[in-house]
Structure 1
């Protein structure tokens, strides 16, 4: 099955000149979604993780069901101020300014093996920030994966962990 057949492209969203790759059509197709989760399970299980982490918010849709399928825990990586209780933050540079991602301070134990997931890898900034955040907590980030990679943005080059994507777009 070609997963790309179930991903819709929407031009000029969220602003003119952007081609948005919409996974809602993949999520709505039970067979395609099951195949995608099965393929990600094979990729991710090679890293023998203890936990899967999903980046807000579409990364939750990927990481949570995959964690359930693999019998693993799931951790949310969120923008600042979205998680209750004590958190640990990591600030990272954007093209114009900075942003902050957080996890709850008790979400991971030092030494745990973590794979970080999102729906799409573009420039790699947020994925790299999540990797650094888990390392700050003493976790061993053993890999990262996404449904989609925009290869023309070279985000993979910003990552220093093994990375896999189910589909790639070169424009």
Structure 2
């Protein structure tokens, strides 16, 4: 389950409604039954895009973060912008074969098969404080792999941050008690929620 540690009440920040409305939901894409959260429409809205980045920058500016790690691919969009805003370096976490040179790898299980994230050796130094950025959290599997990968490199993962967190999660992973900071635009009536949550052990719901 999710444990709510703290957060804003619904509608408290007027920017959140505009951010939520800027995200298009595409039914049955890329396959039947999937409600695809399309952030490309958010990127077309300069004000909503800026507000999204600013909310995260405001949170992390004074948390002594030295590294922002973005998960391929949409995590690159938000992560690099946040890194510039807080004065941190940006480190891409990529799928196999995308990074030249020596890499550290971490495999993770998907619903049908496996995938892998890679990090350049030397991109993150021991004990550096890191936040992980992605556009959306669904099962938590990718973020869990990102945490393990960065910890393998010796980093301290302070928090994960996503623009979108689906309330009806089919959760199969545990994020090592890591904090997760996100908005929830899954259905219109709940799109104005902005909160940060602590992911703890939870059961699978179909």
TM-score range, shorter chain: over 0.9
1:126 equivalent in structure 2: 142
List alignment gaps of at least 5 residues for structure 2: 1-14, 191-206
Q: Could you state the TM-score of these two structures normalised by the residue count of structure 2?
A: 0.78
CA distance in 2, matches of 1:99, 1:129: 10
CA distance in 2, matches of 1:32, 1:19: 21
Aligned-residue CA RMSD (Å): 1.8
CA distance in 2, matches of 1:157, 1:102: 19
Aligned pair in 2 of structure 1 residues 115, 155: CA closer, same or farther (>3 Å)? Answer: farther
1:50 equivalent in structure 2: 66
Q: State the structure with more CA Rg.
A: 2
Instruction: Check if 1:164 corresponds to 2:205.
Output: no
List alignment gaps of at least 5 residues for structure 1: none
Which of 119, 122, 129 is the matching residue for 1:103?
119
1:156/1:163 contact within 8 Å kept: no
Q: CA deviation at 1:128?
A: 0.6
Which of 30, 48, 57 is the matching residue for 1:41?
57
Q: Could you state the TM-score of these two structures normalised by the residue count of structure 1?
A: 0.93
2:91 equivalent in structure 1: 75
Between Structure 1 and Structure 2, which shows a larger proportion of helix residues?
A: 1
Which of 77, 82, 89 is the matching residue for 2:105?
89
Which of 121, 131, 141 is the matching residue for 1:115?
131
CA distance in 2, matches of 1:68, 1:155: 32
Which of 24, 37, 45 is the matching residue for 1:8?
24
In the TM superposition, what whole-angstrom CA distance separates every residue of 1:57-80 from its partner, at most 9, and x where no partner exists?
A: 000001001101111100000111
2:163/2:184 contact within 8 Å kept: yes
CA distance in 2, matches of 1:68, 1:120: 21
Instruction: Check if 1:144 corresponds to 2:160.
Output: yes
Aligned residues: 171
